[in-house]
Structure 1
Amino acid sequence: MQPLITTEPPGPRARAILERDAEVISQCMVREYPLVLDRAEGMNLWDVDGNRYLDFSAGIAVMNVGWNHPDVVRAVTEQVPKLSHGAFLDFCSEMPIRFAEKLVSMLPAGLDRIYLSNSGAETVEAAMKLARYHTQRKYFISFYGGFHGRTYGAMSLTAAKVIQRKGFGPFLPVIHVPYPDPYRPFGFSTGTCDVDVIRYIKEEIFRTEVSPEEVAAIVVEAVQGEGGYIVPPKDFLRQLREICDEHGILLIVDEVQSGCMRTGRFLASEHFGVVPDIVTLSKAIGGGYPLGVTVASDEIMTWPPGSHASTFGGNNVSCAAGLAVLNILDAPGFGDHVMEMGAYLMDRLMILREKYEIIGDIRGIGLMIGIEIVRDRETKQRAREERNAVLNEAFKNGLTLLPAGESVIRFSPPLLIEKEDIDTGIEILDRAFDVVCR
């Protein structure tokens, strides 16, 4: 295989395309570095100038089964000439049903009814509407650092970066509370940060802001994604489940980024022994094609015909890709491979932490791992500029990584990664830290 970098990025073709991009495309998106993709396969990306990159981002945790997996390509190629759109809104076709049946078979008991949409934000919007319809309540509780999408309901739940909300209010009635971060416990005790958050909800939120009888749902990420790949204490989701059961509140778990075997189990919430009332899935479930799924029980998903719909929801091509993805993820030993590779990556990162003082914390489950970059391990002062410098230096040497939170590097590679890929990535990352820390 060709060397990783043959032309210093961005090359001449990439620069020309980026100039055109700036002239005609809205620049509201954030692009982490000037990468202009041409093609991809497996663990590798190629830019328009021929540079190859080892991908440790999976397109923001979308390409869990790798880029252009042959089973996904075959499924799409076979489906397109038969029926692409299908108008599942008004008519029925079999492919979305086959996808739904396979998905339900892989989920915990009780999650047996699904609604099909196109994206993570749409599946969150559907979850919010369903929760309001089922409970006849209007308030929601979500968490600081959480990211749930950019449409109005999803953005109302989101409290990650002020730029994402500035100028767009007013939002829906959502009350935000701290997320239990064992590394940064929001002023609470590190050892009891989950208990402290639960107590805060019970003794402060329910006493001063909203009666629990008015709360439709608590919306939470099983592992916080954009907020910094934060793994909550083991009992946190169980304690949320108890609050919800006590007050007739629905528990919505956003698994858009953490689902689809990212953590070694199909749902990250399975690690915590909790079955949500509603689950939101997207990103990896479509294998690179637009697909969102809102999952609930028959008892909860009782809204009548006409109450919610999407023109492109249940798109046959997306569902064909999704079915192929599910079959890959459901193969014997797939979750074990994710856990094995995650443990190996964690071990290699721990060695880097011994070498570089700016690595303050390493946490994760499976192949959803974050390292927090700090200027001082004692004060835990965030080092955003240094984090960004490491990302850019790694990019120049052929490794794609993405940030999370204010000073975290996230590791969310395709789940088919092997030890050789990890070794190559760590070597590049080691050189990047060495340059930044000189």
Structure 2
Amino acid sequence: MDGQFIGREAVAAKRKQYFYPCTQHFYRDAPQLVRGSMQHVYDENGKKYTDFFAGVSVVACGHCNPAITERTIEQLRRLQHTTTVYLTEPSVLLAERLESVLPGNLRRTFFVNSGSEANEGALLLARLHTGRKGFIALESGLHGRTNLTMSVTGLSMWRTDKYLDEDVAFIRRPFDPELTLAEASEISLADLKAVLAAKGDTIAALIAEPIQGNGGMIMPEPGYFRAVKELLELHGILLIADEIQTGFGRTGAMFAMEHFGVVPDIVTMAKALGNGVPVAAFAAGDEIAASLNTPSASTFGGNPVSAATALAVLDYIEAERLPERAALLGARLKAGLRELQDRYPALVADVRGTGLMLGMELRGAGSAESAALTDDVLEDLKNQAYLVGKNGVGRNVLAFQPPLVIMEEDIDGLLAALDSTLARLGAQV
């Protein structure tokens, strides 16, 4: 493979020269990735890495999965682009197919290109339907990089606009490392009740990730969202489930809200739906969807190539039973991570999440040391040919979100590599 690529040093230099300074990567010595195949990616020197991050939950069906890629190419050769002002088959077939997997009565779909756009559209729909302006969001949530989605984002590092919409009330997330999940949920619900009592008649919707990804793999106790939905309904407020990162099997269910027995009013989706091809959407039932009735469109939303790809993705998820696979393999991975927590209690503070959306919170002497420790673990695992992510308010949570096609031997290998890394770093403490 030598000579076919300009090399990581040249790529890094050009990136520094031509990208905005906000664009960063995880590693001190970052590999140049040039090829992918299912759960593996390869650098310019041919080194194979096992991917346990999947582009932040995107390639759930695996890199360059031939069952999907061939259908993308077939559509690309037939008809690449039109807009919704013309009739095309792939997008309507995709909308019809989504109704069969979406919860409850959600059957109307508006296609866009990204998770930010999907959440922006859902927030707009909530305002149109309720005639209200305000929103409620959870601390540490992440919903996008447009102005309105950034406004309802509760992670300070992603709130870069100084002029965000101020009509957003934040409530504490149903997680606190010093409390039980039940206690944290009660505090969060108390915050919600206070907001509703003060200005419930001005709120259009509450938006929440069923499991906070970038917030640190935060999963509330089972009854939390049922209580939230009941409180919102008393005030005519909609519940928007941001399933951008959790949707399409990752958590062991098609959509993560299924774990809580709640049907949201609006669902947003992206990432895994296209397995690397940009496609996103927000969905609602007939009554709410009817409120978006003036002419509107997304130039590339639901284009034939993206729609054909998403149909192939849904076929593959069903044929390979990926939600069930995620539940089974996730249990194996979580058990292994908890064994490491028991082995290295000075380094590992917590293991949490469900399915193949798991987090391991690391701890050092303080917040800066915890973040530095996490970076050291990422670097060492990368050197051992395993790619994992990081998230959390303090950027000290290892994120395990591999393609759902990962194998048992991949999990066992990752656990052995992590064991070696923690043992080496622990000896330095």
TM-score by length of 1: 0.92
Kept in 1: contact 2:147–2:161 (CA 8 A): no
Following superposition, the deviation at residue 331 of structure 1 comes to 2.5
Q: 1:433 to 1:304 in 2, by over 3 A?
A: closer
1:192-271 maps to which residues of 2 (within 5 A)?
192-202=183-193, 204-207=194-197, 210-271=198-259
| In 2: Cα distance, 1:169 partner to 1:432 partner | 43
Matched, 1:436 2:428: no
Alignment gaps of 5+ in structure 1: 1-5
Kept in 2: contact 1:215–1:249 (CA 8 A): yes
Q: In angstroms, what is the RMSD of aligned CA positions?
A: 2.0
State the one-letter code of the partner of 1:146: G
Following superposition, the deviation at residue 92 of structure 1 comes to 1.7
1:64-213 maps to which residues of 2 (within 5 A)?
64-88=60-84, 90-160=85-155, 162-185=156-179, 190-202=181-193, 204-207=194-197, 210-213=198-201
1:44-55 maps to which residues of 2 (within 5 A)?
44-55=40-51
Q: Deviations over 1:172-202 (max 9, x none)?
A: 52111111115355xxx65421122111221
Kept in 1: contact 2:378–2:389 (CA 8 A): yes
1:315-354 maps to which residues of 2 (within 5 A)?
315-331=303-319, 333-354=321-342
Following superposition, the deviation at residue 117 of structure 1 comes to 0.2
State the one-letter code of the partner of 1:232: P
2:289 paired residue among 283, 301, 304: 301
Matched, 1:370 2:366: no
Which shows bigger deviation, 16-25 or 112-121? 16-25
Following superposition, the deviation at residue 171 of structure 1 comes to 2.4
Kept in 1: contact 2:248–2:323 (CA 8 A): no
Kept in 1: contact 2:128–2:292 (CA 8 A): no
Kept in 1: contact 2:181–2:221 (CA 8 A): no
Following superposition, the deviation at residue 164 of structure 1 comes to 2.4
Kept in 2: contact 1:14–1:49 (CA 8 A): no
Kept in 1: contact 2:137–2:168 (CA 8 A): yes
Following superposition, the deviation at residue 167 of structure 1 comes to 4.5
1:363-402 maps to which residues of 2 (within 5 A)?
363-375=352-364, 383-402=370-389
| Identity across the alignment (%) | 34
TM-score by length of 2: 0.94
Following superposition, the deviation at residue 381 of structure 1 comes to 9.7
Q: Deviations over 1:194-216 (max 9, x none)?
A: 122111221x3234xx4101100
| In 2: Cα distance, 1:68 partner to 1:194 partner | 40
State the partner residue of 1:3. none
Following superposition, the deviation at residue 374 of structure 1 comes to 1.5
Following superposition, the deviation at residue 246 of structure 1 comes to 0.7
Q: 1:354 to 1:273 in 2, by over 3 A?
A: same
Residue-pair matches, total: 420
Kept in 2: contact 1:87–1:315 (CA 8 A): yes
Kept in 2: contact 1:184–1:190 (CA 8 A): no
Kept in 2: contact 1:153–1:172 (CA 8 A): no
| In 1: Cα distance, 2:23 partner to 2:201 partner | 39
Alignment gaps of 5+ in structure 2: none
Following superposition, the deviation at residue 123 of structure 1 comes to 0.1
| In 2: Cα distance, 1:317 partner to 1:306 partner | 26
Which shows bigger deviation, 297-306 or 237-246? 297-306
Q: Deviations over 1:15-43 (max 9, x none)?
A: 12111111112232231122321010011
